[in-house]
Amino acid sequence: MPNKAADELPADAGALPYWKVDELPAPPAFGFRNVLKVIGPGAIMAATSIGGGEWLVGPAAAVKYSSAIFLIATVAIALQVVFNLEAIRYTLYTGEPIYGGIMRLKPGPKFWAGFYSVIGFLQLGWPALAGTAAAALLSAFLGRLPGMDDRQMQNLITMGLLVMVVVILSFGGTIERMLERFAWIMLALVFTFLVVINVAYVPIGHWGTTLKGFFQLSGIPRPIDWGLLGALAATAGSGGLGNLTVTNWIRDKGFGMGAKVGAIPSAIAGHELRLSHVGSVFAVNATSLARWREWTRYVIADQIWVWGLFCFLGMFLNVNLATHLIPRGTDLQGLGAGAYQATYLKEIWAGFWFLTLFNGFWILFKTQLGNTDVLVRTVTDAMWMASGKLRAWRGGRIQWVYYAILAGFTIWAFLAIGIASPMTLFKLLANIAGLVLAIAGVQIFWVNRRFLPRPLRPPLWRELLLLACAGFYAFFSFFVIRSFVQSFLTRP
């Protein structure tokens, strides 16, 4: 093991093998053109984030409680930005996703690989968004919401969308690259629609009222639906595994030491790529510190000005439109938000029925795409790092593992179609995401303190904000669990 005093390298590697030692690559000179070339993981996160939270939970909470409660969303996005940056800090230094750091903690890699695989399945292993996207697409073409007689057609469309997800994830050289291209296209389509429709039809005074609600909490009317508020807090950003998996995309994009590790290749045009199961670290010196600071500038641009900004705008524009169109107190379930928006906008112009629901389809489908990769990537990376036998399977080609898990998930999704209403499922999954943020926030704090050299560790105020993030989601998780237990005990 290298001598820490001489080389300023970690003395402790935890429960996994010691990292390789290499030189930190120099990033491109920081400038506008290079920022556009380098950033990308934030766009994937944003395309994944602007989905069920903005289309289902945000409008439902706004119509039920008004936009006055949306300081919760603003705080959630800000705290998740800190969470993301601190998780990425470990990846910049080691080239490993944050799961690598977590698996170095006790009780060891097999335990944490199993834990995040199970909790990942509980959070994302359901085709709720694919089913809702299918309903939106079918509604757009039928001119009405689908009924019981349309269920078979809706299920067939859902299956077709799940197959389309597999196809998209099979091209591009690396899966991250394919997701990034798709993400930029979807963000452009979705935000063009939302901006145009809000500017054209929502009064300027209503914009001010909505914006005020995102920065000023005037109280929450009772009774409090903790499940809905917990889901809002989690899905205002990425929510749980999505926040952790940004580190996998950062690695595959080649940020920092990720360039020394490799990436998960796609099934087609990606066979020449390899992925090491152990990361690489660098000696801290004047040269590497200068490069480190440049890499962090790119990360900040990616996470604050792409992910954070798009998350806020996505939530704001959907809430602004919903609270203008939908009567206060309306119970929005499943496609309710999109259906009401389409219904009211259709009175202005009949073509808005199709455009609104088609926009909703893209919001939900791209989230299903991103969530599928998040789940499969989480299980793949965790198992790859934890199991030597798995790394020896099929000649050590990780894409075999990735696509085997993807195939298994897709078969399960076919069987699980229609298991419950989209809103019921989504509230459950979103609150599991909040619990993940509470647990992982503490783990990231400890990983960075234990494994990063002191010059690379975050300042105290960032550590305190990271712990505040964990506490914020622990608060909501406590009341959601308490509410569930109370409702179960009082059930006749």
55 pLDDT band, cuts 50/70/90, is: confident
Contact 46, 307 (CB under 8 A): yes
Instruction: Supply the DSSP string of 171-207, one letter for each residue.
Output: -SSBHHHHHHHHHHHHHHHHHHHHHHHHHHHS-HHHH
- Between helix 460-489 and helix 226-235 the angle, nearest 10°, is 150
Contact 437, 70 (CB under 8 A): no
Q: Nearest-CA neighbor of 371 among 216, 202, 191, 239?
A: 239
Q: Tell me how far apart the 2 most distant CA atoms of the chain are, in Å.
A: 73
Q: What is the pLDDT of residues 223-245, one digit of tens each?
A: 888 988 999 999 998 888 889 99
Q: What is the pLDDT of residues 403-414, one digit of tens each?
A: 999 999 999 999
Q: What is the pLDDT of residues 12-32, one digit of tens each?
A: 899 999 999 999 999 999 998
CA 384 to CA 264: how far, in whole Å? 11
266 pLDDT band, cuts 50/70/90, is: low
Say if residue 389's pLDDT is above 90: no
Sequence letter at residue 295 = W
Alpha helices in 106-240 (DSSP H): 109-124, 128-142, 151-168, 175-201, 204-213, 226-235
Domains in the chain (CATH in brackets) are: 4-489 (1.20.1740)
CA 11 to CA 248: how far, in whole Å? 25
Say if residue 387's pLDDT is above 90: no
pTM, full prediction? 0.90
Q: Is 54 exposed, middle or buried (0-12, 13-18, 19+ CB in 10 A)?
A: buried
